[in-house]
């Protein structure tokens, strides 16, 4: 299910077709306390989750209905993220080069367009999201980066993934996070942004959200790069 929006909506540029007639994007923004703000660092408006972080029930709703465009950062995280992007632009460094050099420590030659996804641990890197969405304090926001491109569904107008790919990622989540950390599926959500929502398109990654769990064990899973 996707959020619909009217052409006159101030948030219409954030909506991704095809839309299903439910609530409008602006109505969801009102319910979730999301505002659009402008920064002198960027020409486009940014989404900000104000007042309170997303509850776990809200996270579950957004992920299970695939309305990923509803996620937003806090004002503080948004400011840090915009400054980060501004500094990259000023330094004439593109985002892919930055991620390869500073986040995952891979060479561009390591990236592959085809191959078995989530099958080889050496093809993956688990790190904290430096600019997480506005979640409650007991939620860990991790990113799993992949040397192998995660294929999109050729029949999806938005660049979403297939059921087969979802099943493979579910298996990876089960084997990598749920069993080792002694979690249940009620404590874990994951998603991959559709192509139209991605800020980084040249290297694939998924987001993993963990509610609670042993923080020390989670830290042991995170790559030190």
pTM: 0.86
Q: What is the mean pLDDT of residues 79-104?
A: 92
Q: How far apart are CA 156 and CA 82, in angstroms?
A: 30
Residue 41's pLDDT is what? 67
More confident residue, 215 or 156: 215
The predicted structure's pLDDT at residue 16: 41
Q: Both tokens of residue 171? A: 């298996």
Which CATH class name applies to 94-221? alpha beta
Q: How confident is the model at residue 224 (pLDDT cuts 50, 70, 90)?
A: low
- Quote the percentage of the chain above a pLDDT of 70: 88
On average, the pLDDT of the chain sits at: 87
pLDDT at 9 > cutoff 90: no
User: Span 174-194, mean pLDDT?
Assistant: 96
pLDDT at position 189 over 90: yes
pLDDT digits (tens, 9 = 90+) for 130-155: 999 999 999 999 999 999 999 988 88
User: In which residue ranges of the chain is CATH 3.30.428 found?
Assistant: 94-221
The pLDDT assigned to 217 comes to 94
Please name which of 133, 136, 106 lies closest in space to residue 223, comparing C-alpha atoms. 106
Alpha-helical runs (H) found in the chain? 25-32, 56-64, 75-91, 95-98, 163-173, 179-181, 215-221
Mean pLDDT of 116-140: 96
């Amino acid at each position: 299910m996707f959020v619909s929006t009217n052409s006159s909506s101030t948030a219409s540029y954030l909506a991704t077709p095809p839309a299903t007639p439910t609530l409008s994007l602006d109505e969801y923004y009102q319910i979730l306390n999301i505002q659009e703000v402008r920064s002198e660092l960027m020409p486009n408006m940014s989404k900000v989750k104000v007042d309170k972080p997303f509850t776990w029930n809200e996270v579950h709703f957004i992920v299970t209905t695939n309305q990923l465009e509803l996620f937003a950062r806090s004002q503080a995280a948004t400011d840090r993220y915009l400054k980060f992007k501004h500094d990259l632009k000023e330094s004439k460094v593109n985002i892919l080069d930055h991620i390869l050099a500073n986040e995952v420590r891979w060479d561009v030659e390591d990236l592959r367009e085809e191959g078995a996804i989530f099958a080889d641990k050496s093809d993956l890197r688990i790190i904290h999201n430096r600019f997480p969405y506005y979640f409650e304090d007991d939620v860990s926001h991790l990113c799993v980066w992949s040397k192998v491109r995660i294929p999109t569904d050729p029949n999806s107008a938005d660049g979403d993934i297939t059921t087969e790919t979802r099943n493979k990622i579910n298996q990876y989540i089960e084997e990598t996070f749920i069993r080792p950390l002694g979690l249940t599926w009620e404590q874990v959500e994951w998603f991959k942004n559709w192509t139209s929502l991605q800020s980084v398109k040249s290297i694939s990654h998924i987001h993993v959200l963990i509610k609670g769990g042993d923080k020390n064990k989670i830290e042991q899973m995170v790559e030190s790069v």
